[in-house]
Amino acid sequence: MCGIIGYIGAKPAKQEILQSLQLLEYRGYDSAGLCCFENDKLKLIKKKGKVSTLITACENEFVTAHCGIGHTRWATHGDPSDKNAHPHLSENNNVAIVHNGIIENFESLKGNLQKNGTRFRSETDSEVIAQLLQKSKCESELKKVQELSTLLKGSYAIAILFKELSNQIFAIKKNSPLILGKANDGLYLSSDVNALIGKTSEYYIMQENDIIWIDNQDVYLFDSNLRAKDIEYQPLTLTTQDISRGTFEHYMHKEIMQVPQAIELTMTEFEPMQNPLTRIPAELIKSAEHFSIIGCGTAYNAGNTISYYARQRDIFVDCYYASEYRYEKFLSRKNEVCIFISQSGETADTIEALKKAKEHNIPTIVVTNVASSTLNKLADYILPTKAGPEIAVASTKAYSAQITALYAFIDYVYCIKNGINCRSCILKDKLKDICDKLKSYDLSIIDNIANQLKNIERVFFIGRGVDFATSQEASLKLKEISNIHSEALYAGELKHGTLALIDENTVVIVIATQKELLEKTINSVYEIKARGAKVIMLTQFEVSIDAVDILVSLPQTDQLLMAEVSIYPLQMLAYKTALYKGLDPDKPRNLAKSVTVE
Ligand code: G6P
């Protein structure tokens, strides 16, 4: 949550910072701000609302600035408002900071400062950082920054300007990401490498407790004891094309259309020459008695989806929400392997869950979409997804890529456990067939359904087996971007309570892709229709059921892989419904893409 940016160089700082803030907006968009050195003073503008509001407010400002810091916020402490927006200034206006993370001991720090007369302007936890820096008795600014790590508890990526040190930026990080980007004519700090695409050719991912000091074009890196470190840059290969909306009105639309490509590219990763699975020792898989999959939101749903596929192969997988897993009591189970799924690789709950698993010496595998992410650094083994940058808050192509990687993983486990030579080409061919069918799939019927959903109060998604897992993901998509109350249920569970909510203001979306469960699911359809709800059914089978109001035909493919197919029109349904409701599908209310707070 929250995106921070810093820039120093030959280009106008305002332009560089505002452009990057727009690319970081997926991390939060309730307020934004900018502080630059101008005529040796710290000049600050911050506004409630999206970055576009800040851009308007800055129109004729910061004309001569070449060094500054910016922030886009997702509120944790204090409501979205001008005063709670970052950057925050110290009481004497001599220090400016931007912060991503949570300062867990801010109340006691603030209390002490207030006792000594410091006046605060905001309700945020972050302001305490600027005030502490102002009050510090350390002899140099670098030491003041270092001292922060002894005072602050929690997570933080912080960029700092001191009025006395014109055109210099300091930064420090712990448990929140921060990247240093190097260009020919400038240096950048950013919460995410995506915001540096097209600007820098090289980047360095700051390590825990690193301190950075940028003095014009010179940059120095220190560890927490202020010992100098070498900066090991890596090349930035992504292009502006990868992060542009192209001809699409929204990122979400572009990303749904990229689903087939995400599946194909991810599958290519598992080709024999480079197969990341072969780096996981066969002995580890052979001896594994329990597989746990852990993630949040869509990533959790991907794990749940794959657990059905695994069961078909006699592999039993437990799925956990990352925020719950770390408090489980049985963490010391013998022969456990944990698989963590995360598009960003930066979700705080998932990172903490992985750390917990490591404390218990449990081997860890991550499925992530961002090679430079924190989870990749922490895990024992990496299964990369190749969805490409996903920018819309609601995850779509990353989900499809995650289940692709996990199909490959489960097949690998199955083969090792049964002494079979693993031939990923069979899976690859099947997925190729799915991709071809998705590419030519006519989604026009979805538009009509979305138009009907826009005035509906409640939507239920139901299914049995893996179709329930798809229902969970479809329901999450719809609720997060269209603000319609929606819920996923096992089809058989409706009659045990939720049927009480079914009436003519309800739409029930039935997913039925598993032949052996079809008849029973159709029973539920009649029960729903008898209570007056509208029924929409998605299936690849040729059925004619008079209780179904709209039948959505799915492309026919291997039944075990149907989850890859059935979610596709439902992602589009969520997108179109948000459009019909006049909502911005890329930036849903109250949410952020990368949730870096626990
Ligand atoms: C947030 C996003 C979801 C995402 C979840 C997990 O809640 O809004 O779209 O699925 O985080 O994110 P991750 O990056 O770990 O997959």
Q: What is the pLDDT of residues 136-194, one digit of tens each?
A: 999 999 999 999 999 999 999 999 999 999 999 999 999 899 999 999 999 999 999 98
User: 595 CB under 6 A from ligand 1?
Assistant: yes
User: 394 CB under 6 A from ligand 1?
Assistant: yes
User: 385 CB under 6 A from ligand 1?
Assistant: no
What would the two tokens of residue 341 be?
């799924």
Q: What is the mean pLDDT of residues 335-341?
A: 95
What is the SS3 assignment for 203-263? EEECCCCCEEEEECCEEEEECCCCCEECCCCEECCCCHHHHCCCCCCCHHHHHHHCHHHHH
> Where residue 424 falls among pLDDT bands split at 50, 70, 90?
low
Give the H or E element holding residue 451: helix 444-453
User: 299 CB under 6 A from ligand 1?
Assistant: yes
* d(CA 375, ligand 1 centre) in Å: 14
User: How far is Cα 137 from Cα 285, in angstroms, rounded to an integer?
Assistant: 55
Residue nearest to atom 15 of ligand 1 (CA): 342
Of 33, 71, 41, nearest in space to 165 by CA: 41
User: 347 CB under 6 A from ligand 1?
Assistant: yes
The one catalytic residue in 47, 144, 428, 593 is 593
Catalytic residue at 137?
no
Q: What is the mean pLDDT of residues 357-367?
A: 94
> Where residue 331 falls among pLDDT bands split at 50, 70, 90?
low
CA separation (Å) from 297 to 347, 349, 459, 565? 10, 11, 19, 20
**pLDDT, position 249:** 95
pLDDT, tens digit (0-9, with 9 covering 90-100), for 474-493: 999 999 999 999 999 999 99
Catalytic residue at 593?
yes
Residue position matching structure tokens 């029930």: 508
User: How far is Cα 392 from Cα 562, in angstroms, rounded to an integer?
Assistant: 24
* Atom of ligand 1 at shortest range from CA of 298: 10
CA separation (Å) from 59 to 45, 52, 69? 11, 11, 17
Residue nearest to atom 5 of ligand 1 (CA): 297
- pLDDT of residue 327 exceeding 90, the answer is no
**pLDDT, position 262:** 98
Apex CA 596: angle with CA 591 and CA 598, to 5°? 90
User: How far is Cα 506 from Cα 492, in angstroms, rounded to an integer?
Assistant: 18
* d(CA 54, ligand 1 centre) in Å: 26
Number of CB atoms found within 10 A of residue 218's CB: 9
Q: What is the mean pLDDT of residues 45-61?
A: 96
**pTM of the complete model:** 0.89
pLDDT, tens digit (0-9, with 9 covering 90-100), for 260-305: 999 999 999 988 767 888 899 999 999 999 999 999 999 999 999 9
| Residue from 323, 395, 403 to probe ligand 1 pocket by mutation (most atoms less than 8 Å from CB) | 395
Higher pLDDT, 504 or 6: 6
Q: Mean pLDDT in the chain?
A: 94
> Where residue 332 falls among pLDDT bands split at 50, 70, 90?
low
What would the two tokens of residue 289 be?
């008695």
pLDDT, tens digit (0-9, with 9 covering 90-100), for 92-127: 999 999 999 999 999 999 999 999 999 999 999 999
* d(CA 320, ligand 1 centre) in Å: 14
CA separation (Å) from 374 to 266, 368, 514? 20, 10, 38
Which residues contact residue 281 at a Cβ distance below 8 angstroms, ignoring those fewer than 6 apart?
none
**pLDDT, position 422:** 75
Q: What is the mean pLDDT of residues 320-339?
A: 85
The one catalytic residue in 2, 319, 338, 422 is 2
**pLDDT, position 88:** 98
Higher pLDDT, 597 or 319: 319
Asked if omega into 569 is within 30° of 0 (cis), the reply is: no
Q: Three-class SS of residue 67? A: strand
User: 297 CB under 6 A from ligand 1?
Assistant: yes
- pLDDT of residue 544 exceeding 90, the answer is no
With 0-12 / 13-18 / 19 or more C-beta atoms within 10 angstroms meaning exposed / middle / buried, residue 128 is: buried
User: 342 CB under 6 A from ligand 1?
Assistant: yes
**pLDDT, position 511:** 98
* d(CA 298, ligand 1 centre) in Å: 6
- pLDDT of residue 242 exceeding 90, the answer is no
CA separation (Å) from 387 to 25, 139, 256, 371, 441? 20, 48, 11, 12, 20
Residue position matching structure tokens 């709800």: 533
CA separation (Å) from 160 to 96, 105, 304, 405? 6, 20, 42, 40
Residue 397's Cα: distance from chain center in Å?
12
Of 399, 424, 396, nearest in space to 410 by CA: 424
User: 296 CB under 6 A from ligand 1?
Assistant: yes
> Where residue 556 falls among pLDDT bands split at 50, 70, 90?
very high
Residue nearest to atom 2 of ligand 1 (CA): 593
Residue nearest to atom 1 of ligand 1 (CA): 593
With 0-12 / 13-18 / 19 or more C-beta atoms within 10 angstroms meaning exposed / middle / buried, residue 14 is: buried
Of 307, 365, 357, nearest in space to 341 by CA: 365
User: How far is Cα 369 from Cα 399, in angstroms, rounded to an integer?
Assistant: 10
Q: How many residues does the chain have?
A: 598
User: 343 CB under 6 A from ligand 1?
Assistant: yes
Residue nearest to atom 7 of ligand 1 (CA): 297
Q: What is the mean pLDDT of residues 487-505?
A: 91
Of 308, 269, 558, 315, nearest in space to 414 by CA: 315
Residue nearest to atom 8 of ligand 1 (CA): 593
Task: Characterize the bridge pairing of strands 381-384 and 364-368.
Answer: parallel
What would the two tokens of residue 12 be?
């106008």
* d(CA 46, ligand 1 centre) in Å: 27
* d(CA 350, ligand 1 centre) in Å: 10
Of the listed ranges 120-124, 221-225, 328-332, the one predicted with least confidence:
328-332
- pLDDT of residue 321 exceeding 80, the answer is yes
**pLDDT, position 274:** 76
pLDDT, tens digit (0-9, with 9 covering 90-100), for 391-417: 999 999 999 999 999 999 999 999 999
